Amino acid sequence: MAATLIIGGTGYIGKKILEASVKAGHPTFALVRESTASDPVKGKLIEIFKNLGVNVLYGDLQDHESLIKAIKQVDVVISTVSRGQIPEQAKIIAAVKEAGNVKRFLPSEFGNDVDRSQNVVEPAKSAYADKIKIRRAIEAEGIQYTYVSCNCFAGYFLPTLAQIGAPAPPREKVTIFGDGNAGGIIKF
């Protein structure tokens, strides 16, 4: 079984991937910021991970040495960092390249296939541009990779009618992105 490092394991998608890795029998490591451990909610989540057998490593994307140290212990690195940290994955790429032992890297990609998406409007357009830069950087470094494009998470966007950052469905105003005339496809 491949030893797997999850970066961003306490987040929305990361905790699900981390749990799946453990259930699949992979030796699983989670890179966690020390400040995250002191958060009341995420601190409890880290304890749950430890009880599942996850090897919790303290480090940070801003600390190159902690990234190298964590990456040298695994075969696979899965990044589940949030949208705001997508460009920061360049630091993971540099650490993977320097460590030289990783057999596969999965960047935080979970969404639409950015290389095949056309006519994208803001705010998604900027997010896609960041993901495309990361893809090209991985490829330029010759790192073995897998891109996971699983489309939109309805459970994430639907409760707020795709109003990013809203805590509940809006009652007064809904923002329609683009010119409001974009087509859509619903598959059942």
Please check whether residue 29 is in contact with residue 83, taking contact to mean a CB–CB distance below 8 angstroms: no
State what percent of residues in the chain have pLDDT above 70.
Answer: 82
101-145 confidence digits (pLDDT tens): 999 999 998 788 888 888 888 877 888 899 999 999 999 999 999
User: Does residue 179 lie in a domain region?
Assistant: no
Q: Which two tokens stand for residue 118?
A: 């056309």
pLDDT at res. 123: 78
pLDDT at res. 86: 94
Q: Which candidate, 140, 148, 164, 141, places its Cα nearest to that of 114?
A: 148
Mean pLDDT of the 15-39 span = 95
pLDDT at res. 187: 42
User: Does residue 170 lie in a domain region?
Assistant: no
For the chain, the first-to-last Cα distance in angstroms comes to 36
User: Does residue 62 lie in a domain region?
Assistant: yes
Give the C-alpha separation, 119 to 166, whole Å: 25
Question: Taken in order 69, 57, 142, 138, is the CA torsion positive or negative?
Answer: negative
State the amino acid at position 168 in one-letter form: A
Establish how many alpha carbons lie within 13 A of residue 16's alpha carbon, considering only the half-sphere containing its beta carbon.
5
Counted residue by residue, the chain has a size of 188
Which residue range forms the structural domain that includes residue 63? 4-155
Beta-strand (E) ranges in 111-183? none
pLDDT at res. 186: 45
User: Does residue 71 lie in a domain region?
Assistant: yes
Is residue 187 flagged as an active site residue?
no
pLDDT at res. 125: 86
Catalytic-role residue among 15, 23, 50, 131: 131
User: Does residue 163 lie in a domain region?
Assistant: no
Q: Which two tokens stand for residue 145?
A: 């990779």
User: Average pLDDT of the chain?
Assistant: 87
Please check whether residue 157 is in contact with residue 83, taking contact to mean a CB–CB distance below 8 angstroms: no
Question: Taken in order 89, 94, 96, 99, is the CA torsion positive or negative?
Answer: negative
Q: Maximum distance among all alpha carbons in the chain? A: 53
User: Could you tell me the CATH number of the domain that includes residue 139?
Assistant: 3.40.50.720
pLDDT at res. 181: 66
**Beta strands 28-32; 104-106: pairing state:** unpaired
Structural domain total, the chain: 1
State what percent of residues in the chain have pLDDT above 90.
Answer: 63
Q: Which two tokens stand for residue 65?
A: 């040495």
User: Does residue 169 lie in a domain region?
Assistant: no
